[in-house]
Amino acid sequence: MSGSSLFKMRLVHLDLKGAPPKVSYLAEVFPLFHALGANGLLIEYEDMFPYKGHLRLLRAQHAYSPSEIKEILHLATLNELEVVPLVQTFGHMEFVLKHEALAHLREVAFFPNTLNPHEAESLALVGAMIDQVMELHPGARWLHVGCDEVYYLGEGEASRQWLQQEQNNKARLCLSHVKAVASHVLARHPATKPLVWDDMLRDIPEDQLSASGVPQLVEPMLWDYTADLDVHGKALLMEKYQKCGFRQLWAASAFKGATGVSQALTPIEHHLRNHMQWLQVAAHGPADTLQGIVLTGWQRYDHFSVLCELLPVGIPSLAVCLQSLLQGGFAEDVKTRVENFLGMPSLEITGFTSDILALVTQVGLHLRSSVDEMLYRDRYVTGWFSSYHRRRKLIHPVMIQHIQPQALR
């Protein structure tokens, strides 16, 4: 194995939707990220960004403040982690389009996930979002504009009418919006290169992709989180993108959040195998074909889903994956290095380890059954502390004497 990684850039993805870490916690883990081999961060803010003015409604109640964003960027700089912000601009727009004031910009009126690409107001909206994010990220070399999983594209009324015209198709519709967003980024922030997820581009014919002008504007990020990733298929896809004119390509793996929408514990072996496959992909093509790799760590599958593995639970998997990328594989010496970094006497790749994981197991698998037993079968709880009472924070004081001892057992 070699200490010279096949990936020049190794970015840890911080998916902030649902459970953004405190800045004090990031101050503790950024040095660990750096020590493990990361040299960048892909920060997906979603509604945790402090949008202002007419965009203020997009920010969650517990969003970071501008000063906290600046502190995060300062901490990243101290730990030699280059920050790439991510702003969704096409699909996964639930946090934007759920609001009644913006619902008219949905591609399909009933679904808040995809933006209507025909409305001038749509481009103005994402342009304003981009500009506010870039205002707090001056000098960013890259900006990720999402554009993945644009479900129901072409099914809105305006799209249906547009698609009836000769030579119009869904691929052209998708490419036109990606081009418009990328053009905005480059016009307003010429030193910043737009990145996009590649799934909406994969099946577009080479000639159409080449003629669209998109390859000259963006760098695609090929993502695949499976343990049995098709190495040959990825090599062919990279070759296709290069023929179409894309100058730089990126890879995206996963260290957590990709094996189940309600997954509580991170299956390290799955994620290690995923990264071993990506190493084969990188070795398959010419040197420097891939600009870098993003180790994604999804917090939840979309804006409305439950949380999956939280960041602390995924740290052992992240450590294994980063070190494997850095060292070119995972052998006993790499395992020992990871154990030393984490302060763990023994790391189980095929099981679940650490005090944090044990606690999650206790809460998720053992405590739940006893809580359910109490909530649904205890006469005092069902009669005097039902969901109706809990929502209204009402309880007869006498009943506390019956319920409290059982709750504290």
Active-site positions? 149
**DSSP per-residue letters across 53-120:** GGGGGGS-TTPPPHHHHHHHHHHHHHTT-EEEEE---SSS-HHHHTSGGGGGGEEETTEEEEE-TT-H
For 318, other C-beta atoms within 10 Å of its C-beta total 26
Q: What are phi and psi of 246, to 5 degrees?
A: -70, 125
Counts of helices then strands in the chain (DSSP H, E): 16, 10
Whole-angstrom Cα distance, residue 133 to residue 298? 20
Whole-angstrom Cα distance, residue 113 to residue 171? 18
What residues contact 226, with CB distance under 8 A and at least 6 apart? 274, 277
Whole-angstrom Cα distance, residue 107 to residue 122? 10
In terms of Cβ atoms closer than 10 Å to its own Cβ (0-12, 13-18, 19+), residue 323 is buried
- 79 and 50 Cβ atoms separated by less than 8 Å: no
